[in-house]
Amino acid sequence: MRLPGRRRSMKATLIRKKKCSGFTLVELLVCLALLAITFVSVFRLQAQNLELQREARFITEAKYLAQGRLARMYASGTTGPVNNTGTFDSPFQDLAYEEEKEEVADQKYLYKVRIVVHSADQEGVQQYVLETYVFQGGD
């Protein structure tokens, strides 16, 4: 047994559901805002990651090059104060160095060595400093 009034209300419900399906403009705007915030956060994180990689690479290369300059200074066998500046050979031509060697007061044959590696074109932006003491010249 079917009731005619009940059939109409089912039809009206189906029509109402079809009209209400989909998203409202406010829901779409909220979704777009959340996506924008997410993308900005991801891009900022990626930029920070690239900067940290660049800094780590500089520190690694600068440490290697400063230790090489120290080895050359020690192997040269020159005694007395030294004050040199220059740039490195390829592939590190974008880096420069400053090396200082000075006698330690009241200590014979003991020298304080300071080597600074920095960018050749923009001095002081990034720099790596190696300071040590060497015993040189004594028999």
Residue 82: the pLDDT is 85
Tokens of 30: 């909220």
Cβ atoms within 10 Å, residue 95: 21
Residue 73: the pLDDT is 87
- From first to last of its 139 residues, the chain has per-residue pLDDT tens of 555 555 556 666 656 555 667 889 999 999 999 999 999 999 999 999 999 999 999 999 999 999 999 999 888 877 778 899 999 999 998 899 999 999 998 888 889 999 999 987 775 578 999 999 988 776 6
SS3 of 44-78: the string is HHHHHHHHHHHHHHHHHHHHHHHHHHHHHHHHHCC
| Distance of alpha carbon 89 from alpha carbon 58, whole angstroms | 16
> Considering the entire predicted model, what is its pTM?
0.68
